[in-house]
Amino acid sequence: LSSRLTGAAVAASTSARSPGPSGAARLGITLVPLDTDEEGPRPQSLAAAHRTAPLAALYLQPTLHNPTSLTTSPERRRRLAHAALDLTIPIVEDRIWSFLADDDPLAAHAPGLTHVVDGLSKRVAPGLTVGFVVVPEQRAEAVAAAVRSGGWSAGRFAVAAATRWIGDGTVERLVEGKRADAARRQRVVAQELRGFTVRSDPRAYYAWWELPAPWRADTFTAAAAARGIAVTPGPAFAVGPNRTPDAVRLGLGSVSEEVLRGALRVLAGVVRGGA
């Protein structure tokens, strides 16, 4: 699929996980933002975008979308899949965070068009860089060739560890623990940022904080950094030229719950203090 996408137009939500926009630019891919609501991309916007400029693919993260943590409803998934089928547009379904939820994949509605991408770096450990791609049968040989030519292969240790840990139940046990951990951290967010506009999901390891005026994403990011706290400004995820809301992504999983609570308390104080 990657050979088909180089230099092509790919539809996506109005925001996409980093390094989505920058990675697409390096590959010469033009990301085309789709109209999005509280359930994700609108199916009718796919046809409209395709009429404007033929699309080579549709990129979706329907489960716990990063950075907004939005999860697309089953009915919306079905409608998006059918829209892609009507236009014969291949789908790339990113399921890197799907281990935190029990939602059925969008691929179930369009198995002949959908390329499912997943991996173990989130569900096990960042160093376990083992990824998986499940593609339509007619695309398997071409995708395998693209992977080989791009040098995208995991190390022997990573493959051996992944194989063993999947087989002996280690991965399943880690997933159970991470689901409980994410839920606890989301409760901390709800407590410390009560009263603010925070889009999140009780299952996610991140949250999307829409900042109140007069704060802008860049100035708030700088204010947080001055206090030793890292957040990601909304524009880093922007797809297309449209201006993103003044929001920041909060990563919740890299520090202890105690440190997380303290950092959120500091950030809330920064916003309330206005400086």
Domain C-terminal end among 137, 166, 195: 166
Select from 166, 201, 222 the last residue of a domain.
166
Same domain, 139 and 52: yes
Given a cut of 90, is residue 26 above it in pLDDT? no
Same domain, 255 and 121: no
Q: For the chain, how many structural domains are there in total?
A: 2
Confidence at residue 209, expressed as pLDDT on a 0 to 100 scale: 98
- In this prediction, residue 4 carries a pLDDT of 58
Place of tokens 């860089």: 129
Would you tell me how many other CB atoms lie within 10 Å of the CB of residue 6?
11
Shared domain for 152 and 246, answered yes or no, is no
Check whether residue 204 and residue 159 sit in a common domain.
Answer: no
Burial 82-91 (b: 16+ CB within 10 A, else e): ebbeebebbb
Do 238 and 122 have their domain in common? no
Task: Compute the residue count for the chain.
Answer: 275
> Which range marks the domain in which residue 110 is found?
2-166
Dist. CA 88–CA 136, nearest whole Å: 13
- 210/75 same-domain check: no
CATH number of residue 250's parent domain: 3.90.1150.10
Residues 126 and 64 reside in one and the same domain? yes
Report the candidate in 34, 29, 25 with the shortest Cα–Cα distance to residue 61. 34
Whether residue 43 is found in the same domain as residue 87: yes
Residues 160 and 180 in one domain: no
Q: What is the rounded average pLDDT for all residues in the chain?
A: 91
d(CA 163, CA 182): 25
Q: Last residue of some domain: 149, 166, 183?
A: 166
pLDDT tens digit string along 116-128?
999 999 999 988 9
Is the domain of 122 the same as that of 64?
yes
Tokens of 77: 């998934």
- Summarised one tens digit per residue, pLDDT across range 160-194 is 999 999 999 999 999 999 999 999 999 999 999 99
> Containing H/E element for 117?
strand 114-119
> Is 138 found in the same domain as 210?
no
Give the pTM: 0.90
Residue 43 shares a structural domain with residue 104: yes
For position 20, which CATH number holds?
3.40.640.10
R_g over Cα of the chain: 19
Q: At what angle do helices 43-52 and 74-87 cross, to 10 degrees?
A: 30
CA distance 198 to 105: 26
Strand pairing report for 91-94 and 40-41: unpaired
